[in-house]
Structure 1
Amino acid sequence: MRARPTAVLAIVASLVVVLAVVAALATRGREHPELDAGTPEGVVQLYVSALFDDDLATAAQYLDPALGCSDPLPEPYLNDTARIAVVKTTTSGDTAKVDLRIEEGSGLNGNWTHDESFTLRRDGGTWLLTEEPWPVYGCK
């Protein structure tokens, strides 16, 4: 009589694990929208994507030279499971502010969400990140 409830529990637990793996694979494979590289939010996307691709030289190209950041950038700590969304973009003349919401972590270890703001200035036809943008700090 005891073997039957144990077998049912094992089957249910196995199904939960399989569903979790399928959900993780489906989420990881999602395409993210490609934003216009000529816009402030597009530059932020390219900068963050370069950091996640561990391409610090490319990430440095999106930074205002006045920051004193150069390749190699300080090694950022990034969570590979981070999900990033543009919350708001405000543009005024040759300056812009892009607000992001970043959710990090996994369901097993807990999730945490934080907001980050990026300030940019237009330099000719391109946008450059000013100040020290997340997650690179202390360039000078």
Structure 2
Amino acid sequence: MNDSGTRPRRLLTVILVLIAVLVAAALAVVFTRGEPKLLDAGTPAGIVQRYTAAIIDGDEDAAAEYLTEAARKRCDNLEQPYSDNVRVSLLSTVEREDSADVKVLIVTSSDGGPFGASEYETEEVFDLVKEDGRWLVESAPWQFALCTNKAAAP
């Protein structure tokens, strides 16, 4: 029997099968990543995550549920919050008995410009207070400020 011709073919077949398995596994990982894991809604970071997600989704009513009464009435920032091409990443949380600071990285990207796509990133802080045992946003960075008092808006 002549094994010299079948051995390279088997080796090639095994290599091709391994490559196919690796490609399938990589595709499975990419397509099953889905949404980020929700943080605990009882934590300051969890509240900021839900609040910013609501703003990004354009759901002002849902976002307003995470604001203090004073923050709902405050309209000193008259610019409309934006939600296009923005990512928010948690950097740190400082939690005290009745207040907390949640530091985030906000990355805004744009497709325009003479050199193509660009990104701008800034570190910002959400201030939260605990009211009736529940964390609420007292102040948000300007990118995520929400004016629910439509009478005061221009």
TM-score (norm 1): 0.68
Q: Which residue of 2 aligns with 1:78?
A: 83
What CA deviation, in whole Å up to 9, does each residue of 1:108-136 have, x standing for no partner?
42111111100001112211111344421
Q: Which residue of 2 aligns with 1:64?
A: 68
Q: Quick one: distance in 1 between partners of 2:54 and 2:86?
A: 14
Q: Quick one: distance in 2 between partners of 1:131 and 1:78?
A: 18
1:102 matched to 2:111: no
Compute the displacement of 1:33 (Å). Answer: 1.8
| Paired residues, number | 111
Sequence identity of aligned pairs in percent?
A: 33
Q: Quick one: distance in 2 between partners of 1:63 and 1:82?
A: 21
Q: Quick one: distance in 2 between partners of 1:133 and 1:103?
A: 13
CA RMSD, Structure 1 to Structure 2 (Å):
2.7
1:69–1:59 CA distance, 2 compared to 1 (3 A)? farther
Q: Which residue of 1 aligns with 2:145?
A: 136
Q: Quick one: distance in 1 between partners of 2:59 and 2:146?
A: 16
1:131–1:83 CA distance, 2 compared to 1 (3 A)? closer
- Tell me the secondary structure at the aligned position of residue 64 of structure 2: helix
Q: Which residue of 2 aligns with 1:5?
A: none
Pick aligned residue for 1:124 from 129, 132, 136: 132
Q: Which residue of 2 aligns with 1:46?
A: 50
Q: Quick one: distance in 1 between partners of 2:38 and 2:93?
A: 16
Compute the displacement of 1:69 (Å). Answer: 4.8
Q: Which has the larger radius of gyration?
A: 2
CA contact (8 A) 2:86 2:109 kept: yes
CA contact (8 A) 1:118 1:129 kept: yes
TM-score (norm 2): 0.62
Q: Quick one: distance in 2 between partners of 1:133 and 1:102?
A: 10
What amino acid does structure 1 have at the position aligned with 2:80?
E
Q: Which runs of 5+ in 1 are unaligned?
A: 1-25
Compute the displacement of 1:74 (Å). Answer: 6.8
What amino acid does structure 1 have at the position aligned with 2:119?
N
What amino acid does structure 2 have at the position aligned with 1:102?
I
